[in-house]
Amino acid sequence: MNNYLVVANPASENLAKKIAKRLQAKYLKTHLKVFPDGESKLTISGYKNKGIILVVSSMGPPVDSNLVRTLSLISKSREMSSDVIAIVPYMGYAKQDKEFLKGEIITISVVAKLLKSAGATRLIVVDFHSPDAIDFFKFPTKNISAISLFTEYFKKYKLKNPLVVSPDLFWKSSAEKFAKSINATVIALNKQRDRKTGKLVIKSPLPKFSKGCDLILFDDMVSTGGSILKAIKFLKGNFRNMYVVCTHPVFVGDSERNIRNIGVSRIIATNSIEGKFSKVDLSKIISETILDWK
């Protein structure tokens, strides 16, 4: 076995076990009890005071609870090791990276301070929503991309004139890389959101594309699905198949049903947030990043 111990927020248990297997590391079982008032109590079995501890914990819904659980696991791990790598594939609050309206709190900067204060010495995230916000993390941090994994996944599909669409300009460069890797056409829509009302508007000319082609809507995360729905309605295309591809499948409320109802045949995501859309496994690229990190 390598000199690693792996612990996990129960919400990320399957991913953590896969990482432990790839690293030939010992996996320590974490038990979670949630009290009637919503408080979480975590207990870790078989802790050993040695090695590098990997804390695997995504911050999917409920975000606040998973943030506290992440901090608690890191804090306990730091009692046992001087090197604690926090593996947070999906980082909650990453969208709150600027003071868009006067008085707004840049919450991701608070989260960064909390992770460091809890005892994280290093951090791994995947397709972090705001690359610029990485600067808030004042300790070694690696932001890795899932694009190569999606490329590998789509090798088994016989796509017809694929069109990759980024629902906004923010994810344009990643969409371009993915499209190039599968030999697809790519466009990015100029999506603008009213910061007060939240209303979405697409300010782009209607692009030209082949009728009957396969559409891949490619984004870092899908939460309410509003951007996806807006993009499909804007394109008004007669597509053969429509796919939604994202790294982080948050999917709150009726988002899945709404996306299905508009004609999307497949939703493909990583296991950054574990669930039925988790078709692409992150354990390989995470494990490789750990082993390469000297």
HSE value, Cβ hemisphere, 13 Å, CA-based, for 105: 6
Query: What pLDDT score does 7 carry?
Result: 97
Give yes or no for a contact between 228 and 244, defined as CB atoms under 8 angstroms apart: yes
Nearest to 239 by CA among 183, 151, 156, 162: 162
> What is the block-wise mean pLDDT of the chain (294 residues), using blocks of 10 residues?
89 98 96 96 84 96 97 96 97 93 95 98 95 92 97 94 94 96 95 74 82 95 95 91 98 97 97 97 98 88
pTM summary value: 0.94
Query: What pLDDT score does 1 carry?
Result: 55
Q: Which two tokens stand for residue 19?
A: 């990482």
Domains of the chain with bracketed CATH:
4-145+281-292 (3.40.50.2020), 147-271 (3.40.50.2020)
Query: What pLDDT score does 255 carry?
Result: 97
